Each structure stands twice: as C-alpha cells, then as structure tokens.
C-alpha cells in the first residue's frame, strides 16, 4: 500500500529530508501526462520509494538509472564515504545490493525497474517520453550538465522535472544542480511549480 511505501521511504538510508521526499511523491502523483517516472541517481533507494508510492497509485513504473559506484563525495577520503559499501573483491563502492534490499524490503519490486548504467550511456537508447524526470546524480558541474543534456529533452510536454540539492547560496551546498535549474528555467520551455527545501519542480510547457 502507498502508506507502507511512504513509511519505508522515511526510514530508508539516504540523504533526502522527509519534507522533500513527500514533495517528490506529491509531484509524481500529480503528473497528468502518460509515461514512466525516471530518476537519475538512486544511491540506496530512498527516493525511489517515494516515487514508487506515486507509481503504485497511478499505475506507472519507476525507472532508476545509476552505475552504483557512488558519486565523488562517496569515494575514499571524502565526506560521505562509507567503507561498508566497498566491494572487497573489486575494491570499489557497490550500492546495488543495498538498493535491491531497500526496494525488496518495501515490496516495491513490481513498480521499480533498476537500470545499472551511467546515465549518459543509457540516454541515447531511451525513446519513451517521460512523465517525470528526477535529477539527483553526481553533483559536479560536468556530470550535472551531462545529465541535463542527456535527459531533459526526453521529458514529455506537460511532464515534471524535479531537481534535488538546488542551493542558490554557495554557503548551503554545491552549485551544479542550481546551474541546471537556472539553465532549464531560462530555456523558456518550463514554468516553475512550488518547491520544497532544496527540491525544485518545473513543468514542461513546450519543446
């Protein structure tokens, strides 16, 4: 049930505050155009469960795209590095087992489709218009711009673009997602919807 998925999302490991997660769920639930919900950047599945709750209610699928090797800040020597997530056989982070446990424990395997790939590798193979696109991948300027270039054009007119960790003030966080937000809004193809915290929401009005 939706309430079970939302409860599971609230306690799942991850970095999304509860109010932003609920806002993502509400935005996904409110989309009126057909198509799947796709997120770029999944970590251990917290945000995927918020999307899954909306998908369960609206008869959609959630597609998660992540190489599951962690972003820059998750690597050894960085602030968010977790040694327990390192695969000892290859000596690299592997979040896929934890992601799968999160989705399975919540009973969301019927609505969540996990694609293990770099987003820019999958994007050229993707042709289905998206109802919602959630950008929450690596936050370097290069990778954030790459995700924008690869995926925003695949959002259907009337669909919703959600961007996480948008901080106008550099003192609050990195500026790469804020740059994506500014470029997309400046394109003239989107109108802004009410956001929550660092989550920005925009609706595509033209292509």
Please indicate, yes or no, if residue 56 is contained in any of the structural domains: yes
Q: What is the pLDDT of residue 77?
A: 63
Assess whether 139 carries a catalytic annotation. yes
Q: What are 99's two structure tokens?
A: 């992601």
Q: What is the CATH number of the domain that holds 147?
A: 3.40.50.150
Q: Provide the residue range defining the domain that includes 40.
A: 2-67+94-204
Q: What are 165's two structure tokens?
A: 């960790």
Q: What is the pLDDT of residue 139?
A: 82
- Domains: count for the chain: 1
SS3 letters across 103-164: HHHCCCCCCEEEEECCHHHHHHHCCCCEEEEEECCCCCHHHHHHHHHHHHHHEEEEEEEEEC
Residue 20 in contact with residue 53, Cβ under 8 Å? no
Please indicate, yes or no, if residue 6 is contained in any of the structural domains: yes
Q: What is the pLDDT of residue 85?
A: 76
Which residues in the chain land under pLDDT 50? none
Please indicate, yes or no, if residue 104 is contained in any of the structural domains: yes
Please indicate, yes or no, if residue 33 is contained in any of the structural domains: yes
Q: What is the pLDDT of residue 72?
A: 65
Q: What is the pLDDT of residue 173?
A: 83
Please indicate, yes or no, if residue 38 is contained in any of the structural domains: yes
Please indicate, yes or no, if residue 85 is contained in any of the structural domains: no
- Catalytic one of 67, 74, 139, 164: 139
Please indicate, yes or no, if residue 176 is contained in any of the structural domains: yes
């Amino acid at each position: 049930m939706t309430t079970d998925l939302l409860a599971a999302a609230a306690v799942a490991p991850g970095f999304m505050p509860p109010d932003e997660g609920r806002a993502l769920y509400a935005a996904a639930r409110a989309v009126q155009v057909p198509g799947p919900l796709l997120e770029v950047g999944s970590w251990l599945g917290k945000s995927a469960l918020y999307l899954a709750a909306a998908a369960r209610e609206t008869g959609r699928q959630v597609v998660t795209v992540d190489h599951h090797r962690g972003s820059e800040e998750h690597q050894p020597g960085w602030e968010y590095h977790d040694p327990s997530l390192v695969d000892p056989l290859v000596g690299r982070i592997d979040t896929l087992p934890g992601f799968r446990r999160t989705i399975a424990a919540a009973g969301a395997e019927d609505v969540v489709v996990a694609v293990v790939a770099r987003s820019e590798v999958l994007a050229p193979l993707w042709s289905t218009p998206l109802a919602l696109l959630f950008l929450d991948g690596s936050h370097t300027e290069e990778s954030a711009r790459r995700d924008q270039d690869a995926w925003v054009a695949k959002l259907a007119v009337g669909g919703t673009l959600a961007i996480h960790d948008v901080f106008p003030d550099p003192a609050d966080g990195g500026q790469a997602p804020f740059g994506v937000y500014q470029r997309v809004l400046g394109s003239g193809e989107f109108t802004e919807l009410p956001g929550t915290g660092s989550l920005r929401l925009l609706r595509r009005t033209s292509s």
